[in-house]
Structure 1
Amino acid sequence: MSKSQATQATSRARPLSPHLSIYRPPVTMTTSILHRITGCALYFGTLLVAWWLIAAATSQEYFDFVSWVYGSWIGQLVLLGYTWALMLHMLGGIRHLVWDTGAALEKETASRFAWATLVGSVVLTAVVWIVGYMVRGA
């Protein structure tokens, strides 16, 4: 190979692999990533539950303080996120349990199942919060 041929071969545009800006991740991949993220978020949420239980066992004043924190708008937002993470992670676990039986592994079925997991988590979160406010009397 002559030097000009080698230069020409190396100067050709090389194909680029798909980049995040042009690649649309499938919903099953997105729910898999969200399942892992929500699993990590639930560790933090468990600390919130433990803090509430410790406050309940400590004193009325400390419990009132923790209740005030959870009742603030930022506390409510964190609790809403925790509830959604719990619902999504639970439904994702059920989805994986179904897959472990060998069912719903076809591409189209798995995608519908993933969408159902996402929609179901939002619906269940709304139901939990609506019921919670109804029980609380707010």
Structure 2
Amino acid sequence: MFLAGSAVFIVFAVRQPVNLVHKNYYEKGVDHTEQMNVNARSKPYSRSFDVNLNNEALIVNIENNLATKIDSGNMQLYRPSDYTKDIRCKILAGNTLVQFPKTELIAGRYILKFTWYTNGLRYEIDRPVNIQ
């Protein structure tokens, strides 16, 4: 009986999906020093965008002084509990408004990862977002 119960548990455990923090978890750890430099460079821009949720969408407003400096970039709504529910959006130079349709969002916690490049340098700001 004990062996049968153990076998059932092992089969159950093996079939469960494993969601690591990131798909490239180990590679991200190697770039720790570079990430610290990106964070220091990005800190002055931490309040240069607002996140608002209405009935139709999650809206991100980027201040004009930052939007004009962006060469390219993207925003990602990262869902820590299930990376398959992540949503990405490219940012074009000068774009001050980004919308994520509420129909694509699931209630719960996301992290908004705003990454952009200016003059070849990478910037990144993370902000928690709760969808209800």
| TM-score bucket of the superposed structures, by smaller chain | under 0.3
Higher strand share: 2
TM-score (norm 2): 0.27
Higher helix share: 1
Name which structure has the greater RCO, CA cutoff 8 Å, separation 6+.
1
Highest CA radius of gyration, 1 or 2? 1
